[in-house]
Structure 1
Amino acid sequence: MMKRKHQKVVLMIAAVALSATTVLAKDGMWQPTQLKRQESDMQKLGMKIPVERLYNDSGTGLNNAVVLFGKGCTGELVSASGLLFTNHHCAYGAAQSLSTGDRNFLVDGFWAASREAELPCPGLTVSIVKKTEDVTEYVLKGLTDTMPEALRSSRIKSRISELEKAYHNLSQLKAEVKSFYSGNQYQIVLSEVFSDVRLVAFPPNGIGKFGADTDNWMWPRQTGDFAVFRVYAGKDNKPAPYSVANIPYKPKVFFPINTSGYKEGDFTMVYGFPFQTQEYLSSYQLNQIQYISDPIRIEAREKRLGVLDEAMRSNPAIFLKYAAKQSRLSNGYKKWKGEVLGLSNNDVVGKKLRYERLFEEAAAGNKDNPGDRMLLPLIQVTVSGSDNALIASEYTQETVLGVEAVQQSAQLARVLALYRSALPADVLSDSLQQIRRVMDEFYKNYDASTDHKVFDALVPLYLKQGEQVVAPRMKALMYHSGNNTVSWGNNVFSNSIVVSQERMNELLDNARRGDTMLIRQDPAFQIYEAVTAFQKEKIDPVLRRYNERIAPLNRLYMKRQMEYLNSGKAYWPDANQTLRLTYGQVERVDIPGSNIYQTTLDDLIPRHNASVAEFDIPQELRNLYQAKNYGRWAVNGTVPVNFIASNHTSGGNSGSPVLNAKGELIGINFDRIWQGTMSDLYYDPAVCRNVAVDMRYVLFIIEKYGNAGWLLKEMKLTK
Structure 2
Amino acid sequence: MTLSFPRPRLLIAVLLLATVLRADDGMWLLTNPPLQDLKAKYGFEPTPAWLEHVQKASVRMNNGGSGSFASADGLVITNHHVASDAIYKLSSTGHNYLEDGYHAKSRAEELKCTDLELNVLMSIEDVTARVNAAVKPDLAPAEANVARRSIMAEIEKESLEQSGLRSDVVTLYQGGQYHLYRYKRYTDVRLVWAPEQQAAFFGGDPDNFEFPRYNLDVTLFRVYENDAPVKVEHYLKWNPAGTTAGELVFITGHPGSTQRLITMAELEYARDIQVPNVMRYLKNREVLLLSYSARSEENARRAKDEVFTIANSRKVYDGRISGLLDPVLIAAKEAEEAALKTFAADHPELGATDAWDKITAAQLVIARQALRHNLLEAYAFNSDLFGKARSLLRAATERALPNGERLREFRDSARTEFELALFSEEPVYEDFEILKIKNYLEYIAMELGAKDPVVQAALGGKAPAVRAAELVTGSKIHDLAFRKKLYAMSPEELAQVDDPMLALARAVDAEARAGRKVIEAQAEVKQQAHARIARVRYAKDGDKVSPDATFTLRLAYGTVKGLQQDGVDIPAYTDIAGTFVRATERNNVPPFNLPATWLAAKDRFKGDTPFNFIHTSYSIGGNSGSPTLNRNGEFVGILFDGNIHSLVWNYAYSDTVARSVSVDVRGILEAMRTVYGADELVAEILGTK
Query: CA offsets, 1:347-397, max 9 Å, x none?
Result: 43332223222322222223435x533222232222123322113333556
Deviation at 1:678, TM superposition (A): 2.4
| Counterpart in the other structure of 1:679 | 649
| Counterpart in the other structure of 1:485 | none
SS of equivalent to 1:271? strand
* Correspondence 1:42 to 2:38: yes
> Does the CA-based 8 Å contact 2:64-2:256 persist in structure 1?
yes
Deviation at 1:658, TM superposition (A): 0.3
> Does the CA-based 8 Å contact 1:641-1:696 persist in structure 2?
yes
| Counterpart in the other structure of 2:404 | none
Distance 1:185 1:365 in 2: 24
> Does the CA-based 8 Å contact 1:339-1:678 persist in structure 2?
yes
| Counterpart in the other structure of 2:403 | none
Which amino acid in the other structure matches residue 549 of structure 1? V
Bigger shift: residues 149-158 or 307-316: 149-158
| Counterpart in the other structure of 1:423 | none
Distance 1:47 1:717, change over 3 A: farther
TM-score by length of 1: 0.80
Distance 1:658 1:415 in 2: 40
Which amino acid in the other structure matches residue 272 of structure 1? G
> Does the CA-based 8 Å contact 2:441-2:459 persist in structure 1?
no
SS of equivalent to 1:605? helix
Deviation at 1:185, TM superposition (A): 2.2
SS of equivalent to 2:256? coil
| Counterpart in the other structure of 1:216 | 208
SS of equivalent to 1:32? coil
Distance 2:624 2:219 in 1: 12
Which amino acid in the other structure matches residue 385 of structure 1? V
| Counterpart in the other structure of 1:565 | 541
Distance 1:439 1:540, change over 3 A: closer
Which amino acid in the other structure matches residue 591 of structure 1? Q
| Counterpart in the other structure of 1:543 | 519
| Counterpart in the other structure of 2:675 | 705
Distance 1:507 1:493, change over 3 A: farther
* Correspondence 1:586 to 2:560: yes
Distance 1:309 1:441, change over 3 A: farther
Distance 1:256 1:406, change over 3 A: closer
* Correspondence 1:273 to 2:243: no
Distance 1:80 1:507 in 2: 37
> Does the CA-based 8 Å contact 2:16-2:654 persist in structure 1?
no
| Counterpart in the other structure of 1:715 | 685
Matches within 5 A, 1:657-672: 657-672=627-642
Deviation at 1:305, TM superposition (A): 0.8
* Correspondence 1:623 to 2:600: yes
Which amino acid in the other structure matches residue 365 of structure 1? D
Choose which of 28, 31, 34 in structure 1 pairs with 2:29: 31
* Correspondence 1:81 to 2:73: yes
* Correspondence 1:385 to 2:365: yes
| Counterpart in the other structure of 1:342 | 323
> Does the CA-based 8 Å contact 1:95-1:105 persist in structure 2?
yes
Deviation at 1:403, TM superposition (A): 5.9
Matches within 5 A, 1:134-533: 134-141=126-133, 145=137, 147-232=139-224, 240-241=225-226, 243=227, 246=228, 248-345=229-326, 347-369=328-350, 372-396=352-376, 401-402=381-382, 410=390, 444-448=427-431, 450-451=432-433, 453-454=435-436, 459-465=441-447, 471-472=452-453, 474=455, 481=462, 488-494=463-469, 496-499=470-473, 532-533=509-510
* Correspondence 1:654 to 2:624: yes
Distance 2:308 2:564 in 1: 28
Which amino acid in the other structure matches residue 111 of structure 1? H
| Counterpart in the other structure of 1:120 | 112
| Counterpart in the other structure of 2:660 | 690
| Counterpart in the other structure of 2:408 | none
* Correspondence 1:600 to 2:549: no
> Does the CA-based 8 Å contact 1:78-1:254 persist in structure 2?
yes
Distance 1:470 1:646 in 2: 51
Distance 2:294 2:187 in 1: 35
Deviation at 1:504, TM superposition (A): 7.7
> Does the CA-based 8 Å contact 1:274-1:653 persist in structure 2?
yes
> Does the CA-based 8 Å contact 1:400-1:455 persist in structure 2?
no
SS of equivalent to 1:292? helix
Which amino acid in the other structure matches residue 368 of structure 2? N
SS of equivalent to 1:257? coil
Which amino acid in the other structure matches residue 376 of structure 1? W
Distance 1:444 1:602 in 2: 39
Bigger shift: residues 293-302 or 360-369: 360-369
Distance 1:516 1:77, change over 3 A: closer
Deviation at 1:28, TM superposition (A): 0.5
Which amino acid in the other structure matches residue 217 of structure 1? F
SS of equivalent to 1:190? strand
Query: CA offsets, 1:5-35, max 9 Å, x none?
Result: xxxxxxxxxx98972266x542001111212
| Counterpart in the other structure of 1:552 | 528
Deviation at 1:251, TM superposition (A): 2.1
Which amino acid in the other structure matches residue 489 of structure 1? P
Instruction: Give the % identical residues.
Output: 24
Deviation at 1:73, TM superposition (A): 1.8
Distance 2:256 2:595 in 1: 33
Distance 1:280 1:399, change over 3 A: closer
Which amino acid in the other structure matches residue 547 of structure 1? A
Distance 1:614 1:585 in 2: 31
Deviation at 1:152, TM superposition (A): 4.3
Deviation at 1:575, TM superposition (A): 1.8
TM-score by length of 2: 0.83
Deviation at 1:52, TM superposition (A): 3.1
> Does the CA-based 8 Å contact 1:220-1:594 persist in structure 2?
no
Query: CA offsets, 1:36-84, max 9 Å, x none?
Result: xx2342245446563334214xxxx332211223352221112222222
Distance 1:170 1:412 in 2: 29
SS of equivalent to 2:359? helix
Deviation at 1:514, TM superposition (A): 13
> Does the CA-based 8 Å contact 1:400-1:458 persist in structure 2?
no
SS of equivalent to 2:472? coil
SS of equivalent to 2:294? helix
Distance 1:111 1:333, change over 3 A: same
| Counterpart in the other structure of 2:549 | 575
Distance 1:412 1:186 in 2: 30
Distance 1:193 1:470, change over 3 A: farther
SS of equivalent to 2:565? coil
Which amino acid in the other structure matches residue 654 of structure 2? D
Distance 1:254 1:415 in 2: 38
> Does the CA-based 8 Å contact 2:444-2:455 persist in structure 1?
no
SS of equivalent to 1:89? helix
| Counterpart in the other structure of 2:19 | 20
SS of equivalent to 2:570? coil
* Correspondence 1:644 to 2:614: yes
Distance 1:158 1:17, change over 3 A: farther
Distance 1:624 1:552 in 2: 59
